[in-house]
């Protein structure tokens, strides 16, 4: 079974600064997908960024980028130029690459607080 670990329960950052969230995972699969989801206080989960394990290039989405280290099974998220609207819970998630069924396995989450 896959496990996803987020070792930082909470992080705070000043507006316009950069913050990096850590995520490690354990799997015997060679092909898989990794995700970062954001869950603001309203509780609607929103996809932030996605990475396919077979791609060596790190994914980026505007101010969000990842550092994917497959050998180390590490998948960190960097939020640049932090904005007040980035305040939320952030979840790292894993999905196997298989023909049917694409369950997301989530980590425990990191609460990010952006301070003005």
Partner 1 sequence: EAGVAQSPRYKIIEKRQSVAFWCNPISGHATLYWYQQILGQGPKLLIQFQNNGVVDDSQLPKDRFSAERLKGVDSTLKIQPAKLEDSAVYLCASSLFSRTKETQYFGPGTRLLVL
Beta partners for residue 94, in sequence order: 34, 105
Please state the closest distance from residue 54 (CB atom) to partner 1, in A: 12
Question: CB-wise, 82 or 109, nearer to partner 1?
Answer: 109
Please state the closest distance from residue 34 (CB atom) to partner 1, in A: 12
Please state the closest distance from residue 105 (CB atom) to partner 1, in A: 8
Decide: 3 and 23 in contact? Cβ < 8 Å.
no
Question: CB-wise, 19 or 107, nearer to partner 1?
Answer: 107
Question: CB-wise, 3 or 18, nearer to partner 1?
Answer: 3
Question: CB-wise, 36 or 86, nearer to partner 1?
Answer: 36
Backbone angles phi, psi at 84, to 5 degrees: -55, -35
Cα of 49 vs its chain's centroid, Å: 7
Decide: 96 and 37 in contact? Cβ < 8 Å.
no
Half-sphere exposure in the Cβ direction for 15 (13 Å, CA): 5
Please state the closest distance from residue 21 (CB atom) to partner 1, in A: 13
Beta partners for residue 10, in sequence order: 111
Contact set with partner 1 (CB under 8 A): 4, 33, 37, 42-47, 50, 91, 93, 95, 97, 99-109
């Amino acid at each position: 079974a896959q496990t996803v670990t987020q070792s930082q329960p909470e992080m705070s950052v000043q507006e316009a600064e950069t913050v990096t969230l850590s995520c490690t995972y354990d799997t015997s699969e060679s092909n898989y997908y990794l995700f970062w989801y954001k869950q603001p206080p309203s509780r609607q989960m929103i996809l932030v960024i996605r990475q396919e394990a077979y791609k060596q290039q790190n994914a980026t989405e505007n101010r969000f980028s990842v550092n994917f280290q497959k050998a180390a099974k590490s998948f960190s998220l960097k939020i640049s130029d932090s904005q007040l609207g980035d305040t939320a819970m952030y979840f790292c998630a894993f999905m196997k690459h298989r023909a049917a069924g694409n369950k997301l396995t989530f980590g425990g989450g990191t609460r990010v607080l952006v301070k003005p």
